[in-house]
Amino acid sequence: MRFQIFKTFGFILFIFAIFHQCKVAKKTMDNTTNVNALLKPWEGQYGGVPPFDKVQLKDFKPALLAAMAEDSLEIQKIVEQKDPPSFENTIAALEKTGSSLNRVINVYSVWSGNMNSEEFQTIETEMQPKLAAFVDNIMQNEGLFKRIEAVYKSPKSSSIVKEQRRLLDKYYDDFVLNGAKLNSADKAKVAAINQKLASLFTKFSQNLLADENDKFLAISDSELAKMPEDLKEALLSAAKDKKLKGGILANTRSAIEPFLTFCPERGLREKAWRMFVNRGDNGDQNDNNAIIPQILALRAERAKLFGYPTHAHWKLSNKMAKTPDKAMDLLLAVWQPAVARVKEEVADMQAIANSEKLGIKIEPWDYRYYAEKVRKAKYDLDESQIKPYLDLEKMREGMFWMAGQLFDLKFDQINDVPKFHPDVRVWKVIKGSTGALVGLWYFDPYAREGKRSGAWMTAYREQSRINGDVKTLVSNNSNFLKGKPNEPVLISLDDANTLFHEFGHALHGLCSDVTYPKLSGTNVATDYVEFPSQILERWLLTPEILNKFAVHYQTKQPIPKELVQKIENASKFNQGFATVEYLASALIDMKLHLAGDKPINADQFEKEELTKLGMPDEIVMRHRTPQFAHIFADDGYSAGYYSYLWSDVHSADAFEAFTEAGGPYDKAVAKRLLDHVFSVGGTVEESEGYKAFRGKNPSIAALMKNRGFPYNGK
């Protein structure tokens, strides 16, 4: 039994039980199990696998209800036992409960993120408040908390092994943070807030998905004729998917960013940009502006009930940063150097625009397009030179090779497990030196209707040893645009970077070697969880990867050394843009949640606060407020988007350990990274684990150097 952030589903579920109507619910479970595939133990090799081939939407609701009922009986037994509370009969016992619910929730979350339809959304709308109530009923259960507290305060707790102590502390802290010590009236208020939030989160997500699925830009034949060939093919393919003639530009990041980079028609770029940045902000049935102030007000009210001045203070209390002030200090330390760099980048772009005598001023829809022109002018490098060497499948092979070199992992494709979509492929992962099974890696690379945009990792099952030797099942999901049949999918350097990033999350799960599921894999603080994925990005441009896997899709020749040198020379190019668009989102996130119970008009707040910060006119936030799913589709990254920068301080500093040792594949440093970061999950406090790897605390200096920003500190 564990508290887990379901990354695909995005909603924090602490997988516990309801303490009422147990007899009725048990009868429902017994009747449903006979016919509902979602409730049956996973069958097959590899410790069992999800029955994706047997999923029917009508099964989700009864399966969720029955699994919650089963969990309620398991929890009831822990609460009602006569033996005094101990680690084994309370904490370890909790870790052993909820197996049916975990299985159902994990499949449910796959459909939420990857196969979301109108029919599924009806189920989601109904079940989210029920799941929130389910969580609260257990978090507020006095009998259970008394047992946890008794173990926590017992003199014997000081003698338990370190991993057990870490687990005990996490249970106790999570219960206290979620209101276990509140009086009955305040507990009821928190429960009502959480159910309202669950409904609002669901509506926000569904509105965003609707704008991404339903809105698109039609491209005429005459306009298509002016496009670069690979962009033209992508637009034609998108139209074919929608069974429309001509070309179609989808309203997703994977479609929009290359369009803004390569489309020569400025008017089309502006239309595309406005379509994308106004997702959730069009004053129609999918508008999220009315939802945002409700979420913020409810969060502020809940934080006060918990005894914190704001939601930001509550959320950061158990993170590495600890306080909003420390997170803001980091964000603002990078903000001014990044803004200064943007001014330099815009000046370079404006000079090229002026030379074209078009009489234009660089606008946000021009930034990516003219940045490419600057890169060509300054470094004799453009994306069209690089993409022929970045075949998606070869990059995947490169990731596998890297995992073998660093962590002794070997990947073998298998075809004997069910998949939720024909695009999905699966690999068995073993230890190369012993042949021992590590787990399975699922890969779902392509965009489609009903799939949320972006890229992510999720765990269908987490590694643990408390209920036998359980092997993990992890997935990487992306939104690459499919090419023509039997032709390679060529990706950008940024896309390749994202591919390695998400694979880092997968390796964090696959390398896990712990006892308890609540401490397994990526179950670490949100401002540390991005560190293992960010450091893996840094192997993409190592000579070993480029020489072996960055080969021309036609000639099969490795990427030329001269081109590699150009890429290296341009490694700090456009860092102003990339940093500012991210920081703007992180700062607005924090400012929204530090505003407390102040009434918020999302659009107005965003505009006013960015003006105060001195946001460059040529850039918008990476995630504007009405589409900021990281913070409004669930509580997971709310007041926590700063985490990417906090983690990157660690990743930049950590990679220097390899540089200092002589190279990125140094075996001794790789072993330390495995032993103290990738394998330990949440069994050690994050800063302790990092220091065990690095020998010191991280410095911001490496991050600033990597981004090409001036820094005079240590």
Active-site residue numbers?
Answer: 502
d(CA 427, CA 455): 19
Sign of the CA dihedral with 233 first, then 239, 240, and 245 last: negative
Which neighbouring-strand residues pair with 459? 474
d(CA 687, CA 40): 40
Nearest to 713 by CA among 187, 241, 704: 704
Cα angle 645, 649, 694 (rounded to 5 degrees) comes to 150
d(CA 14, CA 194): 13
- Ordered DSSP codes for 12-23: EE------S-HH
Instruction: With beta carbons less than 8 A apart as the criterion, state whether 437 and 487 touch.
Output: no
Instruction: With beta carbons less than 8 A apart as the criterion, state whether 13 and 178 touch.
Output: no
Rounded to whole angstroms, the maximal C-alpha distance in the chain is: 85
- The total number of residues shown for the chain amounts to 714
Q: Helices in 356-391 by DSSP H: which ranges? A: 367-379, 383-386
Which residue is associated with the tokens 């306009």? 223
d(CA 230, CA 238): 12
Sign of the CA dihedral with 175 first, then 180, 182, and 186 last: positive
- Ordered DSSP codes for 487-530: S--B--HHHHHHHHHHHHHHHHHHT---S-GGGSTT-S-HHHHH
**Contact residues for 693 (Cβ-Cβ < 8 A; gap 6+):** 654, 657, 672, 673, 675, 676, 677
555 CB neighbour count, 10 Å cutoff: 9
What proportions of the chain, in percent to the nearest 5, are helix, strand and coil?
A: 60, 10, 35
Instruction: With beta carbons less than 8 A apart as the criterion, state whether 66 and 36 touch.
Output: yes
Q: Which helix (H) or strand (E) holds 412?
A: strand 409-414
Which residue is associated with the tokens 């695909």? 8
d(CA 366, CA 266): 7
Nearest to 178 by CA among 152, 141, 147: 141
Output the 3-class SS for 198-235: HHHHHHHHHHHHHHHHHCEEEECHHHHCCCCHHHHHHH
**Contact residues for 441 (Cβ-Cβ < 8 A; gap 6+):** 411, 426, 427, 429, 474, 475, 476, 506, 510
